[in-house]
Amino acid sequence: MLAAAEDEMHDEFFPFVEAPADGSRWQAPTDLEQYLYKLTRADNAYAYLRTLAIEGVYYPVRLDEAQAAGEDTHPVLTTRTPDGRTVAQVYTSGLLPRPHPVLVYEHATLGALAQILPDEVDILAVNPATPCEQYFGTGDEEREAWLDLHHELFSPDALMDRVVTRRTGAPAPGLLLHGLALGAHLCFRNGDAWNTAHWHGMGYRGERERIADSWGVHDRQDWLGIQRRLLDGEVSPWYWDFVLGARTALTRARGGGPADPGQWRETVESTLRARAGETGTTDDDREFAGFVAHLRDLVGKILRYEARFRADGLLPPDGTVRTVAAWDIGRASKMARWGRGARYATETEMRSAIESASAAARAAYGTWEEFSAGYILGRCLHFDEERFGTWYTTVLHAHRELTTDPDSPWRTVPFTGAA
């Protein structure tokens, strides 16, 4: 378990947001809450409920109860009104407070909420104590309506592949904001707000399951290890950048211009053999011979990916990828947030990791486009196997949106000079 740091103790268990005192229009944290605010002012509770069916909600749970809950157990924190009615409060993502040491938030669709909400709950309070609050009954008929709306409207795919930006509550320009923007590929894919530092993600349980299933991270020590390896560029195979570096050295030695593929392969092999010779490896070593052949083939694979990248606008007409460091750096930016959502990381550790990712990215790249091309090549070398399938097309779509959407961090956060 992770003991809370003293500087993380606070009394912001639940959101409290006052409407503007002068009666002016409220600026909501995200477009979702802005729309709910509009519906609240129009007294359109049904449209409000339909929106919840599309987006889902977050409900508070005591951390100790969340940790003790079984797979099919869903504890829900409730309160009571002065007249004895039981209230369950839920929130939309943009209004979630900063993580608290003893309280977490779980995500639920409206359909799931209809089933897990305790029978004794009388009132569902949505975004209470904010300008877009709304209240609903929780009887059998209401819950049946929630289920109907869920089946009609909820689609996980509809929540993915979109740029979501916080309008308020985001970090100021600097290393932290730049580091958050490095995770934009994954934020776009998952439909998360890229500039949210107070991370809840898919909820406490969802974040734990995410990194357990995809990364083998089951506790704090696992998270510390993978976070360090990502920041050090040790998760991706070292020889990807070795091969790319050989081209850079060859180009520099020739005084510029495109590298000849044959000479590039020869440079890779000769450098590799020189290094192996220092350790006593000989040509008779079959494993080494196969590795040499693999790296020579990798030259052709990179060239074919770069040709496709140029055709698709990922690279300029004469562009190449110098390093795939972005593949680990971009994931490090998100792993820091995932670790915080799972409560394996402290707030300080999360922020430090994100700022370290920022420094590493600015040391390796000069523009968002260069960073993105490096990230995409790393992803393709990892997963795609030259199929140019969804492992490529989905991130190509993300690149195009992130380089053109006016709300994208790549249009609003300078890549250099972020400090």
For 260, residues 6+ apart whose C-beta sits below 8 A from its C-beta are none
Q: Which residue has the tokens 């359109």?
A: 44
- Rounded average pLDDT over 68-92: 96
Q: How far apart are CA 171 and CA 333, in angstroms?
A: 15
- pLDDT above 90 for 339: yes
Q: Quote the DSSP letter at residue 24.
A: P
Q: How far apart are CA 181 and CA 407, in angstroms?
A: 12
* Contact status, residue 267 vs residue 250, Cβ threshold 8 Å: yes
For 253, residues 6+ apart whose C-beta sits below 8 A from its C-beta are none
Domain ranges of the chain: 6-159, 175-233+325-412, 238-307
* Contact status, residue 354 vs residue 176, Cβ threshold 8 Å: yes
Q: How far apart are CA 50 and CA 53, in angstroms?
A: 5
- 287 compared with 34, residue with greater pLDDT: 34
Q: How far apart are CA 401 and CA 161, in angstroms?
A: 9
The helix/strand count (H/E) of the chain reads as: 17, 6
* Contact status, residue 130 vs residue 28, Cβ threshold 8 Å: no
50-60 confidence digits (pLDDT tens): 999 999 999 99
Q: Where are the alpha helices (DSSP H) in 237-285?
A: 238-253, 261-277
Question: Could you tell me how far CA 274 lies from the centroid of its own chain?
Answer: 41
Tell me the β-bridge partners of 78.
Answer: 88
How confident is the model at residue 18, as a pLDDT? 93
DSSP-derived 3-state class of residue 123 = strand
| pTM of the model as a whole | 0.94
236-258 confidence digits (pLDDT tens): 999 999 999 999 999 999 888 88
